[in-house]
Chains A and B, each alone.
Chain A
Amino acid sequence: MRRLKRNWQPLLASTLTAISAAWLPLTLPGAPVPIQGMTIALLLLAAALNVILTLEDRGHAVRAGVLFIGAHISAGMLLSGLDGNEGQMSASFFLMIAASWLLAWGTVSELAQIEPRSSAARSFLRLLIPAIFGVWILIIWEAITRGAGIPFILLPPPSAIGARIAGSVATLWADVQQTIFKAVLFGYVVGCASGFAVAILADRFAFLRRGLIPIGNMVSALPIIGVAPIMVMWFGFDWQSKAAVVIIMTFFPMLVNTVAGLATAGSMERDLMRSYASDYWQTLIKLRLPAAMPFIFNALKINSTLALIGAIVAEFFGTPIVGMGFRISTEIGRMNVDMVWAEIAVAALIGSVFYGVVALVERATTFWHPSNRGG
């Protein structure tokens, strides 16, 4: 039973390979470049059976290595067989893709059980496991879109998107400069800073807290789709109007989180400050702001993604002929979906980096918080 549990992915993979081997070739009859595929089947079987039979009691790393090699060589061979055969692949092809995917699954589950001693190995594993996951999303995407001949307009294969990114670096760079470096960064900095400043004012003056927060609630409920065209009317076509949308979107999360964060310092800690006859600003700087830091960083992280969304969507409502949102809205009209996907990929990458940088600064700043202490 334990053996079955440990080996079910290679076991199922070898079964699938055996079934598909019975139905070779990999291509449908009449395919331009017929492919037999026996080599791939043998490779898959060899890797799977090797792990089940001879490496049964070996360590996770050895098993993971064999599975990794088997899964990725066969996947590479399967994908290279797609050239010229778009939409002409047989069920056998998809069974083998599934079999290699199962081997990759086996790799990840073996890797996940490794408990490395050195911290370098640990961080390498922490990157490797999600990388294998991500690569397999792309492999399956590529295999299905090209193997089954899914129309380009509906979903282009990742290889085409990659080629488009490589071929349009100049355009993408100009768009990134316009949207990210002008609208997003300016809007983010101003929105977060003003949200923070107003939160301090609202904390100091009760009438602001009572009057402004409910109105701010209403502002935050404003639909961005409705606000964006107005901002274009007010601030013109260029990046300033997009920055204004970003400011509106990021201001409120920062305000609410900072106000909530300023309330988190415990009563004992406040009494302590009172016993020192500490004034408002001393208590704010030495106690309440440090205690509010986890909340403030929460807002900074939420805003890092909101800012990106705001700027891109705002560009749908009028912009000079550059910008990520502009490119997405015009290229989709010209059926250049690969360019749309290229912009999406770039936006996702930048969004992750943005978020990651904020998260890193957070870890360095709020190292003392229980959620960051371990490790």
Chain B
Amino acid sequence: MSVTPPSVVSARKLGLTFQTGDGPVHALSNVDLEVRKGDFVSFIGPSGCGKTTFLRVIADLEKNTDGEITVNGMTPEEARKSRSYGYVFQAPALYPWRTIEKNVALPLEIMGHSAAERAKRIERTLDLVNLSGFGKKYPWQLSGGMQQRASIARALAFDADLLLMDEPFGALDEIVRDHLNAQLLKLWARTEKTICFVTHSIPEAVYLSTRIVVMSPRPGRVTDVIESTLPKERPLEIRETPEFLEIAHRVREGLRAGHSYEE
């Protein structure tokens, strides 16, 4: 581990201010962050802390108003135009008029892959998220957890190295969520992607991440960055170990330091 992996996302004094009717809202202020290749970085904090906004700035769905940010060494806009990330939203956002495999094929069609290439990639990515055999179903015929897995398959289909996930399991019940967390870790190990993961669940953040970025609101800023000491191989039972609880405790302390429990 003497060589530092290359930087994927690099933010310097990043800020974003929305101009609203009630005056400016500082969604992000002075964010410094380095995400390296192969990292699994979680962003945690109460609502309004700017964690989703930060993800959207990386994805060029919002523009920063201060500071600098590079994604794969490019501006976010260049990175988006060169299709360097896959984005998973809070809801599956599958198109109901397309079957699951057609939904997975959507980015491939837009990016101009051939039909044979599309079929190959659909099969591979549906297999990655354990949805083989469901390709011909329509999204509304599947459960919420399966729909969200299909949306992850769609984000993986075009082989971007960076996966941006915005509370992807927030709307699912805890049993399904545990299951999907374990699957996501396996998928991360198999594909060696860099993942930025927004969540408001402390156990989820600790279980998944190599690094946990704790954020606090008004203005949205980073209050702590915690390096996980957990091994890469993580069975679900790891959540009962003292080491896990210690990290969870630090995250909770970080959230408290950000005064996010005040109201």
User: Which residues of A come within 8 Å of B, CB atoms?
Assistant: 266, 268-269, 271-278, 282, 286-287, 290, 293, 366, 368-370, 373
Contacts and interface: CB of A to CB of B under 8 A. Distances in A.
Given A275-B85, A278-B110, A290-B97, A268 B59 contact: no
A269 B81 contact: no
B127 interface: no
Contact of B83 (A276, A282, A373): A276
A262 to B, nearest CB: 15
The 3 closest A-B pairs by CB, nearest first: A368-B96, A368-B97, A275-B87
A60 B82 CA distance: 67
A274 B140 CA distance: 24
A293 B95 CA distance: 13
A268 B81 contact: no
Contacts, number: 53
A266 B96 CA distance: 12
B110 A368 contact: no
Nearest to B56: A271
A174 B99 CA distance: 47
Contacts of A293: 97
A277 B81 contact: yes
A369 B97 CA distance: 8
Interface residues of B, number: 25
A287 B87 contact: no
A276 B111 contact: yes
B106 interface: yes
B89 A272 contact: yes
Contacts of B87: 271-272, 275
Contacts of A369: 96
B134 interface: no
A368 B61 contact: no
A266 B93 contact: yes
Given A276-B83, A286-B106, A269 B97 contact: no
Given A266-B93, A373-B140, A282 B110 contact: yes
Nearest to A279: B110
A282 B60 CA distance: 19
A272 B109 CA distance: 14
Nearest to A287: B95
Given A282-B110, A368-B138, A269 B83 contact: no
Contact of A268 (B85, B93, B96, B140): B93
Contact of A276 (B90, B93, B97, B107): B107
Contacts of A366: 97
Contacts of B93: 266, 268-269, 272
B80 to A, nearest CB: 6
Nearest to A278: B110
23 contacts: A268-B89, A268-B93, A269-B93, A271-B87, A272-B87, A272-B93, A274-B60, A275-B61, A275-B85, A275-B86, A275-B87, A276-B158, A277-B81, A277-B82, A277-B83, A277-B110, A278-B110, A286-B95, A286-B106, A286-B109, A287-B95, A290-B97, A369-B96
Contacts of A274: 60-61, 80
B91 interface: yes
Nearest to B81: A277
B60 to A, nearest CB: 8
A353 B205 CA distance: 59
A373 B93 CA distance: 18
B211 to A, nearest CB: 23
Given A286-B106, A290-B97, A368-B96, A271 B81 contact: no
Nearest to B91: A268
**Secondary structure of the A side of the interface?**
helix
Interface string B113-155: 0000000000000000000000000101000000000000000
> A272, A282, A287, A369: which has the most chain B beta carbons within 10 Å?
A272
A287 B81 CA distance: 19
Given A268-B89, A369-B96, A275 B80 contact: yes
A370 B141 CA distance: 12
A293 B158 CA distance: 28
Interface string B47-60: 00000000000011
Interface in B60-106: 60-61, 80-83, 85-87, 89-91, 93, 95-97, 106
> A268, A276, A286: which has the most chain B beta carbons within 10 Å?
A276
A276 B89 contact: no
Nearest to A274: B61
Given A274-B61, A275-B87, 19 more contacts: A268-B91, A271-B59, A271-B87, A271-B89, A272-B89, A272-B93, A275-B85, A275-B86, A276-B83, A276-B106, A276-B107, A277-B83, A277-B110, A286-B95, A286-B106, A290-B95, A368-B138, A369-B96, A370-B140
Contacts of B81: 277
Contacts of B95: 269, 286-287, 290
B87 to A, nearest CB: 4
Contacts of B111: 276
Nearest to B96: A368
A261 B235 CA distance: 48
A275 B59 contact: yes
Nearest to B138: A368
A368 B96 CA distance: 6
A371 B82 CA distance: 39
A370 B95 CA distance: 13
Contacts of A266: 93
A54 to B, nearest CB: 49
Contacts of A275: 59, 61, 80, 85-87
Contacts of B89: 268, 271-272
B78 to A, nearest CB: 10
Contacts of A368: 96-97, 138, 140
Nearest to B106: A286
Nearest to B108: A276
